[in-house]
Amino acid sequence: MVIGILKEILENESRVSITPDVAKKLISSDHKIHIESGSGEKAFFSDKDYSDVGCIIENDSKSIYNCELILKVNAFTNEELEHANSGNTLISFFQIKDNVNLLSNYINKKITLLSMSHIPRTTLAQNMDALSSQSNIAGYKSTIIAADHASKYMPLLMTAAGTIKPAKVLILGAGVAGLAAIANAKRMGAQVFAFDVRPVVKEQVESLGAKFIEVESDSDEGTGEGGYAKEVSEEYKKKQGLLIEETLKTMDIVISTALIPERKAPILISEKMVQSMMPGSVIMDLAAQNGGNCELTKCDQVITHNNVMIDGRSNLPSTMAADASQLYAKNVYNFLTHLYKDDNKLNLEDEITSGSMLLNDGTVCNETVKQFLDKG
């Protein structure tokens, strides 16, 4: 199979979809790889690194569309789709709610689209789960940035001048990003607390040394399909709001990571709650790109409200482009190895293939895509 690698064009994107070591493995499996010149530069992989393992360097991105399969990190834009050929297979992250306006172009071009965002959460697919590998980086990096913003030490400090108490850190949402944030905040010496609507994660939180704070409830209503969080009842939300509001008053750092697949992020921190926080405290809102968990968050901006800093920057994995690219490329390699066997044909009966496929030769084959298109 002939595989094309496009350079990412978004301003705040430094990752590349395939690294030289993964390219070498694909080439050894009888695939040919064409890569746009400069694709790996921001992740510190040179064109020579790629050519040395057998990749063909293309100076014109249009040449890449002659490949059967084309890989990216971010969704293909309308500008990029202009050059796509009918029958191209495209693989990238693709959040349906964020890119629904692009779908008609994909359909008209008769594109086969597989999304790294929609790989099923199964045991077999764990090594293909790019959302988890990138979220892990985001959770880790958020604690580093928050510590830089904070006006306090993270660990307990005992000096001749006196003792400094450790910072108190609250993690909202104990998914992959949240658990990574908990682990790193603990390593940095902070006193860590965590909240999640799913009681099932309590054991994981406590195993990392954090205190789990929870709403008293007889049900497990916050746990959705695949272990993801889901929308909760109004009664639960009221109890949740009171619990979070009271907890925030004593926190130095808050890292919010709560997301619901293909939905706007839930608001967990209101303006009123921010008003009650200590001056100098910090909110890192990892859900900023999806609307934010804090009512005041502005995506890709750092603002201050009532002496509380609110950091809404998105795409934290891109700030660690070398490692983020390595992990994403390995996820893609494992995905491709599963998708394409000896005949290089997709098995549409396979759970992972069908779960990640949004379009097949321009035909919609995903229920969520159908729902968004029906809404107009």
- Position 215 scores a pLDDT of 85
Q: What is the C-alpha to C-alpha distance for residues 106 and 113, in angstroms, rounded to an integer?
A: 8
- Position 79 scores a pLDDT of 93
- Position 225 scores a pLDDT of 58
- Position 24 scores a pLDDT of 98
- Position 192 scores a pLDDT of 98
Main-chain phi, psi angles of 83, to 5 degrees: -95, -5
Would you write out the chain's pLDDT as a tens digit for each of its 376 residues? 999 999 999 999 999 999 999 999 999 999 999 999 999 999 999 999 999 999 999 999 999 999 999 999 999 999 999 999 999 999 999 999 999 999 999 999 999 999 999 999 999 999 999 999 999 999 999 999 999 999 999 999 999 999 999 999 999 999 999 999 999 999 999 999 999 988 889 999 999 999 999 987 666 655 555 555 556 778 888 889 999 999 999 999 999 999 988 889 999 999 999 999 999 999 999 999 999 999 999 999 999 999 999 999 999 999 999 999 999 999 999 999 999 987 778 998 999 999 999 999 999 999 999 999 988 6
- Has this prediction a pTM greater than 0.85? yes
Looking only at the bridges linking them, the beta strands covering 168-172 and 162-164 are unpaired
Domains (ranges, CATH) in the chain? Answer: 2-128+320-375 (3.40.50.720), 136-319 (3.40.50.720)
Q: Are 316 and 286 in contact (CB under 8 A)?
A: yes
- Position 262 scores a pLDDT of 86
User: Catalytic residue positions?
Assistant: 121, 126, 129, 132, 228
- Report residue 177 CA to chain centroid gap: 8
DSSP string, 167-218: PEEEEE--SHHHHHHHHHHHHTT-EEEEE-S-GGGHHHHHHTTPEEE----S
